[in-house]
Structure 1
Amino acid sequence: MIRTERVGNLVVLTLDRPDKANALTAAMLTDLRDAVLAAYDASALILTGNGRVFSAGADLQDITTLATSPLWEEVSSAIARHPGLTIAALNGTLAGGAMGMALACDMRTAVPSARFFYPVIKMGVRPQPSDPARLIALCGPARARMLLMGASKWTADQALTFGLIDDIADDPVAAAKDLCAAACAADPAYVRDLKSVL
């Protein structure tokens, strides 16, 4: 349910469970982590979903075990450590634990209809360990509290204004590919070096 496509120095990973709103199981998280690690030689990585929702977060059938699973942090850490340019091309709503993988990317672009929420306070669980700091770095502490403690739901326009995403596009994958073009054309060693100083 994780589809991998590679063209030259670009890897596109797609969450491919549209009938379940790309809700993530433990097996999918493991496969996604491994796919990200396998793409470390690529100059650019795009993460997207199939269908109208990027991801609804954890599969409700696995919620009791996934709510505190270290797999979420393993996935986001693998993305954050990727030596190339990483972009989340959000084809729809981003919810719950799936927020961490988007926060770990270098950039985020989303469709106009996307919605954003991370309702940990309603579930009585902590967010993934790295998510609050990444969210604060992007949006500031007050907006991070709005999302995590206020259980706010943001539109794409709000997410753009608040700094959670960087662009709104009708075709976020095409927009992400445009952003990746220069990195994919450059020497991979240079791309790694440039990212290291950023």
Structure 2
Amino acid sequence: MIRLEQDGGLWIVTIDRPDKANSLTPEMLEELARIAETAQEAQALILTGTGKVFSAGADLEAARAGLATSPLWERLSGAIARLPGLTVAALNGTLAGGAMGMALACDLRISVPTAKVFYPVMKLGFLPQPSDPGRLAALIGPARAKLILMAGQKITAQEAHAFGLIDRIVEPDALMATARELVADTCAADPQVARAIGALCVS
């Protein structure tokens, strides 16, 4: 249900459980974290999904069993944030719940026009994962972060783009080609130079 494709220095990770809105089980989350932790030598990493939803977050049954508050979410987003290569979340559809963390940890986010973004943890009685609010507020500001986390708003791709949460809106048939185009220069560059530039861009 997690597919990894390696093309030279480019790693493409696909969440492949479209019949369940790409919701994540503990095993899938563990696999995603393991891949992110072993991708230190990758020059670029693209995260995407199959179907019309990028990920609905935790699988419902797994969430009831404790996955919603698992440290695996933070382990995954932390591993992605530490990657020295360029990371892109290619959102093939809606981004919801705990899955927000892995997208926020990426350097760039592109999305199809029909995607929505929401994170209903407060309604469900949970706190967001520790790093998510800070990363969200750094991208869109504290008021808009509260719009999503506390006002419970579902944000359209167009609103998310205007906020700065999504960097580019792309038609579905061009999503992966655009993601590959965005990482092409990094993959072709001297890895040490690319990593040094990435480090300079961190405030």
- TM interval, shorter chain, is over 0.9
Counterpart residue identity of residue 78, structure 1: A
- 1:116-135 aligned at under 5 Å gives the runs 116-135=117-136
Structure 1 counterpart of 2:178 = 175
Letter of the structure 1 residue corresponding to residue 120 of structure 2: P
State how far apart, in whole Å, the 2-side matches of 1:121 and 1:154 are. 16
| Mapped contact 1:23–1:58 kept (Cα < 8 A) | yes
Q: Distance in 1 between matches of 2:144 and 2:176?
A: 27
- CA positional deviation for 1:172: 2.1
Q: For 1:39, what is the secondary structure of its paired residue?
A: coil
- Aligned partners of 1:172, 1:160: CA distance in 2, in Å? 15
Question: 2:11 & 2:43 partners in 1: Cα distance?
Answer: 8
Note the 1:7-86 alignment, pairs <5 A.
7-64=7-64, 65-86=66-87
TM superposition outliers: structure 1 runs of 4+ over 6 Å? none
**Structure 1: segments with no counterpart, 5+ residues:** none
Output the CA distance in 1 between the equivalents of 2:24 and 2:116. Answer: 18
**Counterpart secondary structure, 1:191:** helix
More relative contact order in 1 or in 2 (CA 8 Å, sep 6+)? Answer: 1
CA distance in 2, matches of 1:190, 1:158: 34
CA distances 1:73-123 after superposition (whole Å, capped 9, x unpaired):
000000000010000000000000000000000000000000110001110
User: TM-score with structure 2 length normalisation?
Assistant: 0.96
Paired with 2:191 and 2:37, the residues of 1 have a C-alpha distance of: 16
Superposed CA RMSD = 0.7
2:149 pairs with 1:148: yes
Question: How far apart, in 2, do the equivalents of 1:52 and 1:194 lie?
Answer: 34
Q: CA deviation at 1:37?
A: 1.7
CA distance in 1, matches of 2:166, 2:87: 13
Match of 2:48, as an amino acid? T
Deviation at 1:35, TM superposition (A): 0.9
Which range is displaced more, 170-179 or 78-87? 170-179
Separation of aligned partners in 2, 1:50 and 1:28: 14
Identical pairs, percent: 60
Q: Residue 191 of structure 1 aligns with which residue?
A: 194
CA distance in structure 2 between the partners assigned to 1:148 and 1:172 by the alignment: 27
- Give the aligned length: 198
- Where 2:83 maps in the other structure, the secondary structure is coil
The corresponding residue for 1:95 is: 96
**Structure 1 residue 196, shift from structure 2 partner:** 1.2
Task: Give the TM-score normalised by the residue count of structure 1.
Answer: 0.98
Where structure 2 has 5 or more consecutive residues not aligned to the other structure, the ranges are none
2:163 aligned residue: 162
